[in-house]
Structure 1
């Protein structure tokens, strides 16, 4: 298994360039084709609260067109300089719907955590989380804080025995096979049986695929959520990638995220490969 087609989300945010640069690096690793998908907020009213209130819808449309062209030229120029096989897409239509459709034809998505301080990072309510849960493809979500200097050298797998976790581990195999260190960690809750879920079995399965992984359990401290515990563990081990299942369900036309998934989307400190 390898990643032959990558899809990177492009927007007008200050973090988009770093996300594209990382996607370029990943495309080089696997000699993959890279799709740059330009999707931004479609709500003409939202910018009025963040930008110049004197702009009329027609002026906003012109502004969007200018930004889109700038992103297009920057992306293709950088790709040409890097000598990569790329494709630019800027499909019309509702942001989440078109992003989900295009994402389903890629092996790996490269997305960015929404920065609440950057209005241009807003595409739609829970855009990244909804895309992760709806696309049916693994998604590498990059935190907006800090700089990603390495990716996939030291990897921590968050294991709880669930279908989502199993999917995430399988989806991460191309990265796991190239890693220097791989750890499988279970957050152990009070009263939980010491051997359940069997993370050591996951390590054995990975070994069959040529991935040598260690296995450990981390005690869950009262008052600290499982997601926060995992992020603390990742920090302690100096990992540069966390692999975790993404959880959520639909309710009243809106997806409800699991506690760990919401913590990752809101508070991630390292890139997270999420599978659903």
Structure 2
């Protein structure tokens, strides 16, 4: 199993170049076709309106065209430096969330960036990344905005709860797991919950049939700490460079409600997270 079509989200933020570099590295790893999808916020937010003031909208459109051209040139230049020829640039018109979702459904793996409230250029739409993760129908690798990714997929932590989402995430992560040096399956139980049998042994046995040797452990969340925080702490202690987990959420009226661990990861991740729903 491998990923043959990767899609990386490109925007005007300072984190976009790092995502492109990572996606090119992964594309070379699997000899995959890489699509660069340029999708940015097209709405005029109140702050933007104040900055524009009396300037004509033609000037705004010119600035947008300049940013698009810069992103286009940067993407193709990065691909040329990396020596990867199978790349494709896309900058479709239309509302970014709908456009991104349409193109995401024709990829094997998405490479997305964690929202960064300190970088206005990273804003696309409310819950842009989370909605793509839940609705795209394919796995998404979400890259944290803090720090840099030096290695990916050498030491992997699987968050396992026996759910459909977790099973989907593990299956979707197989191309990475098959080449990992170390894989561990973690089950985080509530601090005050009853102990259950170590269900991680089941997924570890299944992974073994795919040539992936995995250890497993069951641990309780620290008193007052969420399961998500416990997983991040565990990943840090073990020098994990990739977390694999199922993503949870549902729509309530017009609001997207994310599961607790999913929300924690989207807001506080400190390492790349592969999510599937």
Give the structure-1-normalised TM-score. Answer: 0.96
Q: How many Å separate the matches in 1 of 2:53 and 2:177?
A: 49
Q: How many Å separate the matches in 2 of 1:113 and 1:52?
A: 27
Q: How many Å separate the matches in 2 of 1:10 and 1:148?
A: 17
Q: How many Å separate the matches in 2 of 1:50 and 1:144?
A: 27
1:10 has 2:14 as partner: no
Q: How many Å separate the matches in 2 of 1:153 and 1:87?
A: 28
2:208 is matched with 207
Structure 2 unaligned segments of length 5 or more: list them. Answer: none
Distance apart, 1:217 and its partner CA: 1.3
Deviations 1:180-221 (A, max 9, x none): 00000000222333316x111000000000000000112112
2:62 is matched with 62
SS of the counterpart of 1:87?
strand
Q: How many Å separate the matches in 1 of 2:188 and 2:229?
A: 11
1:123 has 2:124 as partner: yes
2:176 is matched with 175
- Please tell me whether the aligned partners of residues 36 and 90 of structure 2 are also in contact (alpha carbons under 8 angstroms): yes
Q: How does 1:37-52 map onto structure 2 within 5 Å?
A: 37-46=37-46, 48=48, 51-52=51-52
Q: How many Å separate the matches in 2 of 1:146 and 1:201?
A: 34
- Please tell me whether the aligned partners of residues 6 and 33 of structure 2 are also in contact (alpha carbons under 8 angstroms): yes
Deviations 1:200-247 (A, max 9, x none): 100000000000000011211221011111100111111000001100
- Please tell me whether the aligned partners of residues 44 and 57 of structure 1 are also in contact (alpha carbons under 8 angstroms): no
2:196 is matched with 194
Inter-CA distance 6–47: structure 2 relative to 1 (3 Å threshold): farther
Give the structure-2-normalised TM-score. Answer: 0.96
SS of the counterpart of 1:64?
helix
Inter-CA distance 129–273: structure 2 relative to 1 (3 Å threshold): same
Inter-CA distance 68–47: structure 2 relative to 1 (3 Å threshold): farther
Task: Count the aligned residue pairs.
Answer: 275
2:186 is matched with 185
Distance apart, 1:272 and its partner CA: 0.2
Q: How many Å separate the matches in 2 of 1:72 and 1:217?
A: 46
SS of the counterpart of 1:66?
helix
Inter-CA distance 77–232: structure 2 relative to 1 (3 Å threshold): same
Structure 1 unaligned segments of length 5 or more: list them. Answer: none
Inter-CA distance 51–14: structure 2 relative to 1 (3 Å threshold): farther
Distance apart, 1:57 and its partner CA: 2.9
Distance apart, 1:98 and its partner CA: 0.5
1:275 is matched with 276
1:158 is matched with 159
Q: How many Å separate the matches in 1 of 2:194 and 2:53?
A: 56
2:25 is matched with 25
Inter-CA distance 96–219: structure 2 relative to 1 (3 Å threshold): same
Inter-CA distance 138–50: structure 2 relative to 1 (3 Å threshold): farther
Q: How many Å separate the matches in 2 of 1:15 and 1:206?
A: 34
